[in-house]
Amino acid sequence: MKRPVVIVDPLSSGIELAPTFKARGIPAIAVTLKNEEWPEFGSKMKASDFLEVISDRPGIENLIKKYDPIAIIPGTEEGIPLAEHLTAILTPKLANDPKKSLHRSHKYFMQKALAEAGVPFLKTLHTASSSEAQAWIEENNLQNAPLIIKPPMSSGSEMVFHIAAFGDWNKAFSQILTEPSVISGKRSETVVIQEQAIGTEYAVGTVSANGRHYLVHLIKYNKTSAGERKTVFDHVEFVPYDKNVLGDLFEYTQNTLDALGVRFGATHTEIMLTKNGPRLIESSARMIGGPVVGFARAATGSSQADKLVEIYLDGDVQTKEFVFKKTVVPVFLKAVHQGIASNLEALDGTSELSTLLYKYVWIKNGDLVPQTVDYLTSIGIIALIGDRDSIFLDYKKIRAMESKLVFTS
C-alpha cells in the first residue's frame, strides 16, 4: 500500500484534501474529533474518501504510526492542535516550530509573536478581568478609540465585536465569558481586547515549504454590520496580486508567518491594510474554511489543496509565481432576522444568472434560521465569475431576490 496522508477533522474545506491527494494516487486516513458534521454550512465528512476513519482517542499516535504517513494535515481550525501534535511526533521534519504552537492559535500570543519579531502589531490584552481591561485601556490611551472584543481561540468571526469609540465594551466582554461557542460548545475562560484596525481587509492564502511561503490566493473582504459586529460577509472578491500596490501586504504576511514559526502547510491569514500599513487580524495554520477550494481553482487555476499535494509529494510547489485568471465573487446570503424559512424558491432565479459559478444554499424551507451576524450564520453563497461589470449586475439581482425571502417568527 502507498503511504497515506492523514487528515485531522476533515470537515469544512478539509473535505477537499482526500480527493485531491487521491487524484495523485495517494490514499488518506481520517482522524475525527467529536463531531462528524461541522456547523459551518453543514459540511459533512465523506467516509468513502478515506482508507480508514479513526476517532481521536488515547494512544492515537501509535495507531497512526503504523501507517507511516507522508504528512498529517488539519482539515479545520479545531483539527490544528492534534495535527501539530501528531506531526511533531511522527513527521517532525514537516513540523512548524513547536515553540510557537500557542502563538499560531491564540489571538493574544499572535500579536505578542509579532512584537517580539519586530513586525508591526496591534495593542492587545488577554484577560478574564473587566477591571484589568479597563485599566489597560486607560494605560494605552484607548478610551476614545474603537476596540475589538473577541475570544482568544475561535474561527468564522464567532463572537467578534466591534466597539465604537466611546462605546460600552462590557456587554460583549461578558457575553464571551458566558456564551458557549457554536463550534466547540465550550465557553471561553478569557477575552482578548484589542485596538481596532481600520482599512481594507484581505484574506491571504498561502502554502509553505521548508519555511518559504507562496501566495496561492488573495481575497478582498466586503463586510456589513449587525449591531456592534462588523462581521457580516456581504461579498468577497478574488483579486490579482499587484506588487506595486499590494507588495507590502504579502511581505508583511511572510514576516508574520516567520514570526509565528510557520514552515510547512497551508495558512489562512487575515490582514487589514491600514493607512499605517498592514496589520494582522489573525492567522490560522490551515486552509481557508468553507467551499473556497473550488472558487480558488476557478480564479487562479489552483488552490491550497492542490499546492499541499505538490509540497508533500514533490517537495515544493510546481509554480512559484502567483497566477490570476478570472474574477470570482462569492456573494453571501443573509437572514435579516431569526425565523423559519418559508419561501426559498425566491432564490430560484439565481440558477439562471449569466455569471453563475456555484450555488450553495445551506438551509431549506421549515428550518429555524438565526439572524446572520457572521460567517457561520450565512445561509448560503452564490459564487459568480466573469467580467466585473457583469458580475455586479448579477450581484444586484441576487440582492433583489434575497429581499423577498421571508423568515416567520
CATH of the domain at 152: 3.30.1490.20
Number of domains in the chain: 4
> Which whole number is the average pLDDT over 108-114?
97
**Type and span of the H or E element at 124:** strand 124-127
Give 196-210 pLDDT, tens digit per residue: 999 999 999 999 999
The domain boundary, picked from 172, 195, 218, lies at 195
Average pLDDT, rounded, for the chain = 93
Give 143-175 pLDDT, tens digit per residue: 899 999 999 887 667 888 898 888 889 998 899
- Residue identified by cell 438565526 is 370
37, pLDDT greater than 60: no
> pLDDT-based confidence at 25, cuts 50/70/90?
very high
Q: Are residues 185 and 137 in the same domain?
A: yes
Q: Are residues 288 and 229 in the same domain?
A: yes
Domain contains 108: no
The domain boundary, picked from 257, 292, 325, lies at 325
Q: Are residues 311 and 218 in the same domain?
A: yes
Query: Which domain CATH number covers 75?
Result: 3.40.50
pLDDT at 277: 96
CB 8 within 8 Å of CB 73: yes
Q: Are residues 331 and 391 in the same domain?
A: yes
DSSP secondary structure string for all residues of 128-179: S-HHHHHHHHHHTT-TTS-EEEE-SS--TTTT-EEEPTT---HHHHHHHHHS
What predicted TM-score, i.e. pTM, was given to this entire model? 0.93
Domain ranges, residue 302: 198-325
> pLDDT-based confidence at 39, cuts 50/70/90?
very low
Domain contains 297: yes
- Residues 6 or more apart whose CB falls under 8 angstroms from that of 59 comprise none
pLDDT at 44: 79
Q: Are residues 161 and 207 in the same domain?
A: no
The domain boundary, picked from 325, 345, 373, lies at 325
pLDDT at 317: 97
Give 224-242 pLDDT, tens digit per residue: 877 767 878 999 999 999 9
The three cell numbers locating residue 253: 504576511
Domain contains 332: yes
> Which whole number is the average pLDDT over 108-113?
96
Give 299-336 pLDDT, tens digit per residue: 999 999 999 999 999 999 999 999 999 999 999 999 99
Domain contains 275: yes
> pLDDT-based confidence at 40, cuts 50/70/90?
very low
> Which whole number is the average pLDDT over 211-219?
98
361, pLDDT greater than 60: yes
Q: Are residues 320 and 356 in the same domain?
A: no
Which pairing describes strands 28-32 and 5-8: parallel, antiparallel, or unpaired? Answer: parallel
Domain contains 234: yes
DSSP secondary structure string for all residues of 269-303: EEEEEETTEEEEEEEESSPPSSSHHHHHHHHHS--
Q: Are residues 188 and 226 in the same domain?
A: no
Domain contains 113: no
Query: Which domain CATH number covers 293?
Result: 3.30.470.20
**Type and span of the H or E element at 117:** helix 107-117
pLDDT at 153: 85
> pLDDT-based confidence at 47, cuts 50/70/90?
confident
> pLDDT-based confidence at 32, cuts 50/70/90?
very high
> Which whole number is the average pLDDT over 25-51?
78
Q: Are residues 159 and 244 in the same domain?
A: no
pLDDT at 151: 92
Q: Are residues 362 and 379 in the same domain?
A: yes
CA distance 379 to 40: 10
Q: Are residues 143 and 235 in the same domain?
A: no
Domain contains 106: no
Q: Are residues 247 and 278 in the same domain?
A: yes
Q: Are residues 217 and 296 in the same domain?
A: yes
pLDDT at 43: 66
Give 377-394 pLDDT, tens digit per residue: 899 999 999 999 999 999
Domain contains 389: yes
